[in-house]
């Protein structure tokens, strides 16, 4: 199977340098854009004491009642519809853990993110913030158990293969040990950390439910997922196999339920990985989970292309590859695959 993936990618790469994307600087022409929230449920909270609060300094006091009906577990979705549509289906971009749709919007060094690049390639593009991230809001401790987790500066640097693993971080930028040849814009690491948002460890079901609601509204569609979003994408595809026309899972962590993998037999899947994966225990473990899920899809007659960017000559990418210096090149690898699978002109 690895042979098949490489054969495809080398062939695709040979013809991939033709300009499939309009360069930044050209106008983006949209026949529509907007946002909506989807999913969610109303919960009742009762028995908590009310209190008087001053909502703005100098303003009047007013009652805050923690009881009553609350909307929770809704999801925010932003969409852009290019005039020159070339994608056969909408493209849904689902981000990873501790992040939001901003993952796809921009890069830490301020260039265009995959969102713009795929809009320029002609995709109707839907970027969401998973439940409890970003503009989706989050529920009170009265509704959700546990507390959110917060990532310090060191955590993604060492865990996302920007630095050389444990011990590579230092508060002094000059003393950090980045991966040799990294594509990550190291000088903009602060900006990457600004994109980070807290997340809960207890909300997976709510997240999947909202994604299901989105799929029921928008699809048939193509999923482009990253990291934690990859697991959600596979779990949703298992439940809506007729609605998902293709999946591009970028460094999925982890996969779906292996027993349900056969449900994806009619969905072409690309699993895309950056560099340094095999030498990092954490990512090697996720890749093994992904590979086993891929094997289970293939055993049912399905098709999975597992593509490691360094195997096709694209080196230096961390876990955040859509935000790195060569993000236009990695976007082109995905676009070529989608075209090959009949998803776009």
Applying the rule CB under 8 A, the residues between 300 and 329 that interact with a second copy are none
What is the DSSP secondary-structure string of 158-197?
HHTTSBSSTT---SSGGG--BPTT--S-GGGHHHHHHT--
Stretch that binds a second copy, among 12-20, 143-151, 217-225, 326-334 (CB under 8 A): 143-151
Residue 168 interacts with a second copy (CB under 8 A): yes or no: no
Among residues 42, 180, 181, 342, which is the contact residue for a second copy, using CB under 8 A?
42
Q: Work out whether 275 is an interface residue with a second copy (CB under 8 A).
A: no
Among 1-9, 145-153, 298-306, 315-323, the segment contacting a second copy (CB under 8 A): 145-153
User: Closest CB to a second copy among 9 and 318?
Assistant: 318
**Whole-angstrom Cα Rg for the chain:** 21
CA atoms within 13 A on the CB side of 132: 24
* Residue placing its CB nearer to a second copy in the complex, 96 or 268: 96
Q: How far apart are CA 40 and CA 71, in angstroms?
A: 6
- Which of these segments, 11-19, 179-187, 278-286, 311-319, binds a second copy (CB under 8 A)? 278-286
Taking the C-alpha atoms of residue 210 and residue 39, their distance in angstroms, rounded to an integer, is 5
**Distance of closest approach, residue 205 Cβ to a second copy, in angstroms:** 10
Q: Does residue 177 belong to the site contacting a second copy (CB under 8 A)?
A: no
Residue 279 is given by DSSP the state: T
Tell me the closest approach of the beta carbon of residue 65 to a second copy, in angstroms: 6
Q: Which of 9, 20, 21, 105 binds a second copy (CB under 8 A)?
A: 105
**Shortest approach of a second copy to residue 1 CB, angstroms?**
22
**Residue 233 near a second copy by CB under 8 A:** no
């Amino acid at each position: 199977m690895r042979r098949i993936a490489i054969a495809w990618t080398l062939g695709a790469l040979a013809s991939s340098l033709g300009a499939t994307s309009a360069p930044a600087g050209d106008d983006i022409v949209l026949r529509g854009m907007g946002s909506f929230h989807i999913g969610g449920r109303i919960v009742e909270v009762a028995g908590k004491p009310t209190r008087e609060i001053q909502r703005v300094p100098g303003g009047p006091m007013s009652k805050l009642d923690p009881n009553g009906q609350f909307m929770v577990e809704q999801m925010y979705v932003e969409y852009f519809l290019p005039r020159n549509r070339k994608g056969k289906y909408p493209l849904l971009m689902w981000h990873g853990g501790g992040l939001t749709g901003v993952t796809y919007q921009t890069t830490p060094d301020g260039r265009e993110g995959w969102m713009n690049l795929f809009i320029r390639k002609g995709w109707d593009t839907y970027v969401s913030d998973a439940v409890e991230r970003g503009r989706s809001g989050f529920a009170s401790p009265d509704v959700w158990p546990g507390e959110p987790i917060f990532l310090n500066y060191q955590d993604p640097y060492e865990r996302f293969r920007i630095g050389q693993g444990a011990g590579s971080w230092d508060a002094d930028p000059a003393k950090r040990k980045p991966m040799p040849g990294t594509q990550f814009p190291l000088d903009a690491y602060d900006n990457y950390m600004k994109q980070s948002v807290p997340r809960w460890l207890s909300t997976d079901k709510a997240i999947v439910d909202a994604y299901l609601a989105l799929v029921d509204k928008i699809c048939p569609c193509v999923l482009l997922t990253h990291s934690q979003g990859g697991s959600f994408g596979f779990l949703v595809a298992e439940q809506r196999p007729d609605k998902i026309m293709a999946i591009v899972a970028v460094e999925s962590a982890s996969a779906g339920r292996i027993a349900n993998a056969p449900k994806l037999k009619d969905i072409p899947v690309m699993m895309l990985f950056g560099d340094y994966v095999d030498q990092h225990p954490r990512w090697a473990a996720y890749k093994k989970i992904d590979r086993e899920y891929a094997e289970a899809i293939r055993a049912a007659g399905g098709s999975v292309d597992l593509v490691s960017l360094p195997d096709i000559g694209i080196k230096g990418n961390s876990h955040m590859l859509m935000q790195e210096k060569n993000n236009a090149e990695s976007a082109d690898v995905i676009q070529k695959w989608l075209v090959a699978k009949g998803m776009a002109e």
